[in-house]
């Protein structure tokens, strides 16, 4: 008989129901990843006891670690399941949904809070309207070097899942949104909203909720220098704080 892989999956049937663990065994295939195993379970939804169960639900899209939608907690650590090769994982492979977001079903979670946070910090370049705005400002290679790295964020949620300051019962914006605020605050056109972004960052749930645990920067699959971004915003906020006190 061929080698079998053991999975322990934390399941939840609906948004309101309580979670439970279920074991699965999947035939081993060379170079398979967690998603390909979940696909096997979907094709043949039998649990380890051989009972027919509802197939496990998960999210994914790009399958190459750029969209962020397949993020889950694998053996206790948050990461993308599409790039989690089973050969490198200890068995039984434990799959859990991220704990900081509402579960939709099984491993699929609702990351709306992250997108709301991006809206709150206005993580965009304000360039509305149809009229010709002329050519954009030139961007130096040094600027581009920094900005490109920051722009690689895929809002996957690893940083906030690992963060001890981000929890279901607070409204911390989290490292990803703060990093985007830094990105757009340095953009020549995005800069025009700088003060608005800082105002949001200087409210409850903003930058002062960060406790400098630096789990975010360790957990980020894109190696974005999040601590640098947080320190940079800390400096911008310090300046704004000073201005608010003495020059406004």
Partner 1 sequence: MDTHFIYRRIHSLTGIIPVGLFLIYHLYIQLYLHSGAEVYNEEVNSFYDSPLALWILVLVVYIPLIFHSVFGALITFEAQVQPSYHYFAHLLYWLQRLSGIGVLFFIIAHVWNAQLGPLVADTWGTHWEHLAEGFSDPETGLVTKTVYVLGILGATFHFANGINTFSITWGVALTPKSQQRMRVISIITFLVLTISALYALAAIW
Choose from ligand SF4, ligand FES, ligand HEM, none: what does 80 bind? Cβ within 5-8 Å by kind. ligand FES
Retrieve residue 18's tokens. Answer: 């309580």
Q: Does 62 bind ligand FES (CB under 6 A)?
A: yes
| 108 and 59 Cβ atoms separated by less than 8 Å | yes
CB atoms near residue 231 (< 10 Å): 15
Question: How distant, in Å, are the alpha carbons of 7, 100, 164, 198, 211 from that of 172?
Answer: 33, 11, 11, 14, 11
Q: Is residue 235 close enough to count as binding partner 1 by CB under 8 A?
A: yes
Nearest of 188, 185, 192, 160 to residue 236 by alpha carbon: 185
Q: Which positions from 105 through 124 interact with partner 1, judged by CB under 8 A?
A: none
Q: What is the CA radius of gyration of the chain?
A: 21
Of the pair 55, 234, the CB lying nearest partner 1 is at 234
Give least dist CB 221 to ligand FES, A.
8
Q: Is 223 in the site for partner 1 (CB under 8 A)?
A: no
Q: Which two tokens stand for residue 33?
A: 């990843």
Is 78:72 a contact under the CB 8 Å cutoff?
yes
- What is the C-alpha to C-alpha distance for residues 92 and 66, in angstroms, rounded to an integer? 27
Phi then psi dihedrals of residue 117, to 5 deg? -65, -40
Q: Is 104 in the site for ligand FES (CB under 6 A)?
A: no
CB atoms within 10 A of CB 25: 16
CB of 245 to ligand HEM, least distance (A): 18
Choose the stretch contacting ligand SF4; rule: CB under 6 A; options: 37-45, 82-90, 120-128, 224-232: 224-232
Among 7, 24, 58, 166, binds partner 1 (CB under 8 A): 166
Under the binding rule (CB under 8 A), the answer on residue 76 touching partner 1 is yes
Closest CA to 174 of 145, 201, 137, 152: 201
Stretch that binds ligand FES, among 50-58, 65-73, 104-112, 118-126 (CB under 6 A): 65-73
What is the closest distance, in whole angstroms, from the C-beta atom of residue 102 to partner 1 in the complex? 16
Instruction: Give yes or no for residue 72 binding ligand SF4 (CB under 6 A).
Output: no
d(Cα 50, Cα 60) in Å, to the nearest integer? 26
Using CB under 6 A, pick the residue from 5, 34, 74, 224 that binds ligand SF4: 224
One residue of 91, 211, 241, 244 binding ligand HEM per CB under 6 A: 211
Contact residues toward partner 1 (CB under 8 A) are: 76-77, 162-167, 170, 199, 202-204, 206-215, 218-219, 225, 227-228, 230-238, 240-241, 244
């Amino acid at each position: 008989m061929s080698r079998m892989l053991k999975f322990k999956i934390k399941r939840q049937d609906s948004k309101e129901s309580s979670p439970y663990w279920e074991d699965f065994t999947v035939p081993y295939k060379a170079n398979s990843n967690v998603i390909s195993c979940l696909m096997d379970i979907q094709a043949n939804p039998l649990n380890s006891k051989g009972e027919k169960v509802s197939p496990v639900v998960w999210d994914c899209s790009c399958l190459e670690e750029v969209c962020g939608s397949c993020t889950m907690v694998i053996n206790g650590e948050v990461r993308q399941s599409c790039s989690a090769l089973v050969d490198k994982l200890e068995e039984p492979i434990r799959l859990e949904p991220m704990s900081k977001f509402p579960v939709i079903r099984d491993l699929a979670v609702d990351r709306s809070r992250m997108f709301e946070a991006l809206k709150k910090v206005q993580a965009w370049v304000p360039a509305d309207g149809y009229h010709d705005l002329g050519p954009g400002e030139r961007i130096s290679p040094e600027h581009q070097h920094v900005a490109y790295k920051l722009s690689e964020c895929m809002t996957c949620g690893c940083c906030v899942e690992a963060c001890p300051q981000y929890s279901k019962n607070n409204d911390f914006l989290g490292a990803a949104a703060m990093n985007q605020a830094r990105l757009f605050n340095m953009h020549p056109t995005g800069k025009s909203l700088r003060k608005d972004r800082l105002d949001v960052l200087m409210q409850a749930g903003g930058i002062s909720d960060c406790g400098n645990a630096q789990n975010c920067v360790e957990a980020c699959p894109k190696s974005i220098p999040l601590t640098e971004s947080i320190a940079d915003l800390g400096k911008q906020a310090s300046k704004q704080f000073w201005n608010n006190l003495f020059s406004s």
